[in-house]
Structure 1
Amino acid sequence: VGERSLPLINLHLNFRSRSIRRRQIGQVIDYIKIKSHPTELATPLAPIICGDFNCPLRYEQDAVASMFEYILTHGDYHLYPKKAGTFPAHLPARLPRRIIDFIFVPAFLHVEHTEVLRSYLSDHRPVVVDVII
């Protein structure tokens, strides 16, 4: 973006343990804190954060809620997808009900289009977010 690089954090959190997911998110938050401070050489951009969080937003004590809480108090982000389920995507679950794959997009980016693709390449449906840089 201009002369600056746009960071991207792509993650795949532990699917078995809530405490491990929270620890993993803690590491991401620590990284964001370190990388978000301006230096003499650069003013960093907020990263796009995406991936398989292995838990829905509605679980208050889990990873997505922890990340969302941090971002609401320390950054300006939009969260996608808004409604469409991403898991499970394989047969016979033709209409996935759980949203466990997310993309946190910094608000300074203009989101042109979002979509959860109907794909059977994985047990998760891909989340697409087109942004204008």
Structure 2
Amino acid sequence: MRRISLLLAALLILSLLTPPASAAPGHEVALRVMSYNIHTGIGTDGALDLARTASVIRDSRADVVGLEEVDVHWDARSDFQDQARDLARMLDMRVFFAPIYDLPPLTDGEPRRRYGVAVLSRHPIVHTENHLITRLSTQDPNPVPRPMPGFAEAVVLVRGVPVHVYTTHLDYRPDPAVREMQVADTLRILGEDPHGARQVLLGDFNAEPAAPELAPLWTRLSDAWTSPEPGATYPADAPAKRIDYVTVSAGVHARDARVPDTLASDHRPVVADVTVRR
């Protein structure tokens, strides 16, 4: 049913739109994407400054952004802000927020406390889904691996071309066991999309490209980072590891990628220019 509903929605929207000449059949459509773990708006100086986060995104001129570590009314560390909505407002972008945790408020009558990932887009978002993947909760005192939400999918209509954009945040622990399960879940979910779907997976994978647990991903996706330079993203003040990614499926071609020099988070973002064929 999900496939049918998604295909019908895409066909309906496409039938109502007249693509510009630059998006004619067989023509490649350009898209700039960013993956950014924003560390709840807290920079390497320890200061909360969501406007600074927004400035980094604005300066990148990204069309679509995958965000990790986003607070929505979470706690005092982010002034109980709705960071997903506030960033969308500051940047004049659409947003889909996918909570990993959705907890009762600290005070009765206040909004629920949520933390997770998000997708920002300058293009219309025509379908969203918060998928379950295996997680080891940081909120449970005795966690066991189990399916939990927080794997965002947003179908973005880029000049008449539907692109499936995913944002994820894989487990941070040194033991790769949970990441291995998350990669398997990711590939299963990607495989549920219609055949030939154009897919972009963004996120903080918490592992470097050669990590064995990431190897299955590279059977379906390509890493947008092809430069001989290391492209390290973490920690932001002295980058030593590349753990943040833009990855693409067949039908999406990555032309180049770069890591902006910024201390607005404990991670540096990755920005890539890709092309999508109609």
Q: What is the TM-score with the length of structure 1 in the denominator? A: 0.74
Length, aligned pairs only: 115
Deviating 4+ runs (over 6 angstroms): none
Answer yes or no: is the 8 Å Cα contact 1:56–1:98 preserved in 2: yes
Aligned residue among 54, 72, 84 for 2:206: 54
1:81 is matched with: 225
2:166 is matched with: 9
Name the CA distance, whole Å, in 1 between partners of 2:235 and 2:224: 17
Name the CA distance, whole Å, in 2 between partners of 1:80 and 1:106: 10
1:35 is matched with: 193
- Say which structure is richer in strand: 2
CA RMSD of aligned residues (A): 2.1
1:108 is matched with: 251
Answer yes or no: is the 8 Å Cα contact 1:113–1:131 preserved in 2: yes
Matched, 1:65 2:215: yes
Name the stretch that deviates more: 77-86 or 26-35.
77-86
Segments of 5+ residues of structure 1 without an aligned counterpart are: 38-43, 72-76
1:132 is matched with: 275
Q: Looking at CA atoms only, which structure, 1 or 2, has the larger radius of gyration? A: 2
Segments of 5+ residues of structure 2 without an aligned counterpart are: 1-157
CA-CA distance at 1:4 after TM superposition: 4.6
Name the CA distance, whole Å, in 1 between partners of 2:258 and 2:182: 27
Name the CA distance, whole Å, in 2 between partners of 1:5 and 1:46: 7
Q: For residues 4-31 of structure 1, give each alpha carbon's deviation from its aligned partner in whole angstroms, at most 9, with x where no partner exists.
A: 5210111110101411111111111111
Amino acid at match of 1:89: A
Aligned partner of residue 187 in structure 2, secondary structure: helix
How has the CA–CA distance of structure 1 residues 58 and 113 changed in structure 2, closer, same or farther, with 3 Å as cutoff? closer
Name the CA distance, whole Å, in 2 between partners of 1:14 and 1:67: 15
How has the CA–CA distance of structure 1 residues 58 and 132 changed in structure 2, closer, same or farther, with 3 Å as cutoff? closer
